[in-house]
Amino acid sequence: MRPDTSSGVTEATRPRMTQVRTTDRAIDRALVAKAAAVVVAGGWVGYLLFTGMPQLSLHVFPRTLALHLMFAGLAAVYAGWLVGARRLPGGSPLDLPVLALLAAYGIATVASVAWRVSVEPLLFLTAAVLVFYALSDLPLLSARSLSNMLMLLGLALSLYTLWVVGNDYADYLRLVRRVEGLSGSNIFPPTVPRAHDVSDHPNVLAMVLVLIVPFFTMAALRGETVWERGLGHAGLPVTAMALFLTLSRGAWIGATAAGLLAAIGVALTLTAYEREKQGFRPSWDNAIPRNVSPTALVAVVGALALAVVAGLAALASASTRPGWLFRGSLSPREDAWEAALDMFADYPLAGVGPHAFGLLYPQYSGEFLVHTQHAHNGFLQVAVDAGVIGLLALAALGVVTAWMLLRTWGEGVIGQRLLAVACASGLAGFALHNQLDAGNMWKAPPIALAVVGAIIVRNYRERALPSAAAVAPTGVMSRIPTRVPHYGRIAVRAALAVVMLLPFIGWYRIDPAHHDYYLGADAYNRGDLLTAADELRDAVDADSSVMVHRMLLGMAQARLFDAAGRQDRVLIEGAVVNLEQAVRIDPRSDIARANLARAYQLAGRPEEAAREAQITRLARNHVAPVLAVAEVYELLGREEDAVATYAQVISMDASLADSAFWDGTPWRRAHYDEIVGASILSVNPCTYGAHIVQVRRHDPTFGTEDLRGANRACELLVFTAPNELTQRVALGRIKMELGDMDAAFAHLRASADRQPDFAPARRELGRWYALSGNVDAARSEWVRAVDLGDAEAVMLLGGTYPADDRPAGLDDRLEELLATSSSSVQNDVVSILYYRIRWGRMSPVWAMIPGEWQTATPRIYDDMRSTLVRWQSEAP
C-alpha cells in the first residue's frame, strides 16, 4: 500500500511534525504564563503606586492592614518558590550593600530619639527589599518584561492623572458657561490645575514618573518591537503632561535631565555597537563620535546652562508671577534643609532615627509645620535618619549599582545595553529630583525603586557572556571584586532571608493593638466615650509604647470625668497618668502638653497645669494647643497669663481676632481690647486695618478712626514693598472701606496683574466691581476666585443669584471648602498630621480635650456654615 502524500505528510515525517506542534504548544503555554506573570506583578505593583498612603486615608487601619496583606501574599509566593527551588534569596552583587543598608537603619532605629516611631518605617523598608528580591528572583519574569510593565504602569498613572485634572477643568467650564458664557478670554482657568488623589502625593507621583521617563525615551528611540516603540511614543507626551500638572518643579528638572541622559546614552550606545560590528577594536571610546572634542562638549553644556539661567532670570524679573509657577515652597525647603543639617550635626553617627525628623523639627525651627514633615532632600534625609553609617551604606549601594550597570553595558547585547542606559538615566533623574524632595517617607518611591533595581539585577544576570566583541570595564570599576567568598555569599543570603521575615513578625505584634486603637478612636469620634475608653485601654495594654494610644486614652478618661460631674477621681487620675506617659514618650509634643495641662486643671492641680501650659506656649506655630492652654489659664484665674496667651494666639492667626469666641465669657469680652493690643495686630497696620474692615462688614456701626490711622501706616509699608501682595490687597480693602474707590482699584488691579491666581485679589476686585454696580464684572472675578478655592467668593457669587437660579454646584463647592479650608482650629492640619504621618494612626476629630476653645473660628467660617445651611434648605 502506497503512503498518502497528497497532504505532503508521510509516515516518515509524521513524528517530526507532531514534535514541532507539541513544541509550538509548549511555547504558547510559556508565553501565556509569562504574560500572566507580568499582569499579576503589574497589578500588584500598580496597587502600591496608584493608591495613597494609608496614614492619609480617612480610616488608617483598614488600608494599613490591606497593605500588610499585600506584602504577605507576595512573601508567601516568594517563600514557596524559594522552598521549591531549594535556594536562598538574592545572589547578585547587591546583596551585601542591601544588607548593609538594612543594618544601618536597624542600628539607627535602636539609637533613635523615639525608637517606636522608627520601628514601623524600618519594617516598611524591609518590605520594599522583599519586593526587590521577589521581582529579581521569581520565574517567568525578565528584565525586558519588567521594563514593559513599568512603562505600562507609568502610562496608566499619567492617563489617570489627566483624567482627574480633566474633571476639575470640566467643573470650571460648567461654572464659567453658567455665569458668563464661554469665550476665548475665559476658556482657561486662572491657574494651572494641580494633580491630586493619585498615588501618595503630587510630588511623589512626579518622582515615580521621573524614574519611568528614560524607559519611554529608550523605547521610542530603539524599541525592539513595534508595540514597544508605540508605547514609548505614546508614553513620552502623556507623561510629560502629567508631570507638568503635578507642578513639581524638582520633577521637571529631574525628568528633563533623565530624558536627555537617556537619549544621549541611547545614541552613544548605538554608535559604539555599530563600530564594534564593523570590526573596530572594543573600547569605551567607540561610544564617542569622532568629530566631538572635549572642548565642544564643554561649549554645548555651557550654552545649555546659560540658556537655562537666562530663562530663569527672565521669569524671575517678569511683572507677572503666577502662583502655580512661583509657589512659595522654597522657604519651607530651605528651612527644612537647615533644620536637617543641624540635626545631622547633633546626631552624626547614627542619626536621629528613621522618621524622627518630624518629632524634632519643632525644636529646631517649627516655622512650617504643615509643609515640613521631612528634610525635602532624599540624601539629607538619609543623613538625618541613619547618620554617617546610613550614608556609607547608601554610597556602597550606589557604587555597586553603577558597577553592575557598567558591566552590563560592556558585556550585554544591544537590548541589554540600552536597558542599562534607561536604568542609569532614571536613577540619575530620581537623584536629581531628590535634591528638592525626599521620597524616603512615602510608599510609592521605594516600590518603584525596587522595580528598577529588579530590572538592573535581571539585566545583569541575562547579559551575554564576555566575548572578543564585548567591551570589558576598565579603570576603577574593573578592580571592584565581583564575588564574595562562597561561605560569605551563603551567610549574606541567609541573613537576607531572615531579615525579610521581620516585617511580618513586627506587624503580627503591632496590628492587633492598632486595631484596638482604631476601634477606640472611631468610638471617640462618635462620642461613645465608654466604648472608646475600653478599646483604647486594650490598645495600651497591647502596645503601651505608642504615644497616641496613651494620649487618646487619657483624653477619653478626662472627658468621662468631666461628663460625669467631676466626681470619679479614679478617672481623672487615670487620665493624668496616661497623659504623663504620653509626654514621657514624646516630651516635644505640644498636643500632649496641652492635654496634660487641661487634665491637671480638671484634677484640681493648678500649679502643674500652669507649668504644662507654659511649656505648650513654646509652640510658636501651632495655634490649637496654645489656644487650649489659654483657656486653661482663664479657668485657673491667671489673668495676666491668659491675656498674653490669647494675644499670642491672635498673633499666630490674625483672622481669629474677628471671632464670636471673644463674646463667649464676660472675662473675654472685658479683656478683648487688651488682648488685641498685646498681639501683633497692633504692630502691622495692614493686618490691623484688614481686621477692622472685616469687623465693619459684620458691624457697620464700628468706628473708622483707627482705620484711617491704619490706612496711612499701611501705605508706607506698601510703598516700601509693593510686591508684598497680602499687604497690598489689605490696603485695597482699607481704601475701599473708606470710600477711596480709585485708589482701592489701583492696588487690587495691580495685585491681580502681578499674580493672576492670587485668590484674595480676585475676590476683593470682584467686591469692588459689585460696589461700583458692575455685577457682571464682579461675577467674572468671583468665578476665578471660586476656582482658586476662595470660600468667601463662593458666597459672594451665590449671593448675586436668586435661590431658584443659583449656579449648580456652588453649595457642593462651599461644603468642600468648609471641610478642607485652612482653619487653625476647625481644620487643625498640624495635629492631624501628628497622628497620621508621625505615628501612623487615625486622628481624632479634636486633638485636644474639648472646651470653649473649639468655638474660636473666624466669622467667615460661621458665615460659611449658615450660608450652606440656608442654600441647602432652599434647594428644591
- How big is the chain, counted in residues? 876
Would 787 be classed as within a structural domain?
no
Question: Averaged over 702-713, what is the pLDDT?
Answer: 89
Distance CA 736, CA 754 (A): 20
User: What is the pLDDT confidence band of residue 274, given thresholds at 50, 70 and 90?
Assistant: confident
Would 622 be classed as within a structural domain?
yes
pLDDT given for residue 824 in this prediction: 87
Would 546 be classed as within a structural domain?
yes
User: What is the pLDDT confidence band of residue 819, given thresholds at 50, 70 and 90?
Assistant: confident
Task: Flag whether pLDDT at 29 surpasses 90.
Answer: no
The residues, any chain, with a CB within 8 Å of residue 742's CB and separated by 6 or more, are: none
Which backbone phi and psi does 196 adopt, to 5 degrees?
-155, 160
pLDDT given for residue 468 in this prediction: 36
Which of 449, 483, 500 is the last residue in one of the domains? 500
DSSP letter for 352, please: S
Residues 650 and 719 in one domain: no
Mean pLDDT lowest for which of 183-192, 483-492, 782-791?
A: 483-492
Task: Flag whether pLDDT at 403 surpasses 60.
Answer: yes
Distance CA 166, CA 241 (A): 12
Task: Flag whether pLDDT at 623 surpasses 50.
Answer: yes
- Domain extent for 215: 42-182+192-306+346-354+375-500
pLDDT given for residue 475 in this prediction: 41
Question: Averaged over 621-629, what is the pLDDT?
Answer: 95
Distance CA 354, CA 106 (A): 9
pLDDT given for residue 480 in this prediction: 45
Task: Flag whether pLDDT at 700 surpasses 90.
Answer: no
Question: Averaged over 261-272, what is the pLDDT?
Answer: 92
pLDDT given for residue 596 in this prediction: 98
Residues 476 and 603 in one domain: no
> 637-667 pLDDT, tens per residue?
999 999 999 999 999 999 999 999 999 999 9
Question: Averaged over 632-640, what is the pLDDT?
Answer: 97
Distance CA 135, CA 153 (A): 15
Distance CA 706, CA 283 (A): 81
Cα diameter, the chain: 124
Would 833 be classed as within a structural domain?
no
CA gyration radius for the chain?
32
Q: If we measure between CA atoms, which residue out of 143, 142, 152 comes closest to residue 30?
A: 142
Task: Flag whether pLDDT at 13 surpasses 60.
Answer: no
Would 776 be classed as within a structural domain?
no
> 493-537 pLDDT, tens per residue?
999 999 999 999 999 999 999 999 999 999 999 999 999 999 999
From residue 471, how far is each of 404, 466, 631, 817 by CA, in Å? 14, 8, 75, 61
Would 217 be classed as within a structural domain?
yes
Residues 561 and 704 in one domain: no
pLDDT given for residue 467 in this prediction: 42
Distance CA 794, CA 632 (A): 37
Question: Averaged over 729-733, what is the pLDDT?
Answer: 96
Residues 455 and 477 in one domain: yes
Q: If we measure between CA atoms, which residue out of 202, 174, 53 comes closest to residue 838?
A: 53
Residues 608 and 710 in one domain: no
pLDDT given for residue 289 in this prediction: 66
378: which 3 cell numbers? 532624599
Contact call for residues 215 and 420 (beta carbons, < 8 A): no
Residues 574 and 486 in one domain: no
Which of 704, 735, 766 is the last residue in one of the domains? 735
Which of the pair, 265 or 319, is modelled with greater confidence? 265
pLDDT given for residue 477 in this prediction: 41
Residues 380 and 480 in one domain: yes
Which of the pair, 233 or 475, is modelled with greater confidence? 233
Q: If we measure between CA atoms, which residue out of 533, 518, 374, 586 comes closest to residue 54?
A: 518
Q: What is the mean pLDDT of the chain?
A: 90
pLDDT given for residue 19 in this prediction: 47
Task: Flag whether pLDDT at 288 surpasses 70.
Answer: no
Q: Could you give the 3-state DSSP secondary structure of residue 712?
A: helix
Task: Flag whether pLDDT at 279 surpasses 90.
Answer: no
Task: Flag whether pLDDT at 854 surpasses 90.
Answer: yes
- Looking at the chain, the whole-number percentage of residues with pLDDT higher than 90 is 78
The residues, any chain, with a CB within 8 Å of residue 433's CB and separated by 6 or more, are: 206, 207, 210, 248, 250, 251, 253, 254, 255
Residues 490 and 521 in one domain: no
Would 322 be classed as within a structural domain?
no
Which backbone phi and psi does 112 adopt, to 5 degrees?
-60, 150
Question: Averaged over 404-432, what is the pLDDT?
Answer: 95
Residues 385 and 470 in one domain: yes
pLDDT given for residue 486 in this prediction: 72
Which of 500, 528, 557 is the last residue in one of the domains? 500
Contact call for residues 827 and 861 (beta carbons, < 8 A): no
Contact call for residues 860 and 653 (beta carbons, < 8 A): no
pLDDT given for residue 469 in this prediction: 41
Distance CA 259, CA 213 (A): 6
Residues 487 and 518 in one domain: no
Structurally, the chain folds into a number of domains equal to: 3
Task: Flag whether pLDDT at 402 surpasses 80.
Answer: yes
- Check which CATH number belongs to the domain holding 605 and give it: 1.25.40.10
Distance CA 322, CA 20 (A): 67
Residues 689 and 660 in one domain: no
Would 86 be classed as within a structural domain?
yes
Which backbone phi and psi does 858 adopt, to 5 degrees?
-60, 150
Centre a 10 Å sphere on the Cβ of residue 338 and count the other Cβ atoms it contains.
12
Residues 541 and 522 in one domain: yes
User: What is the pLDDT confidence band of residue 283, given thresholds at 50, 70 and 90?
Assistant: low
pLDDT given for residue 563 in this prediction: 94
Task: Flag whether pLDDT at 11 surpasses 80.
Answer: no
pLDDT given for residue 474 in this prediction: 44
Task: Flag whether pLDDT at 800 surpasses 90.
Answer: yes
> 754-779 pLDDT, tens per residue?
999 999 999 999 999 999 999 999 99
Q: If we measure between CA atoms, which residue out of 868, 835, 864 comes closest to residue 58?
A: 835
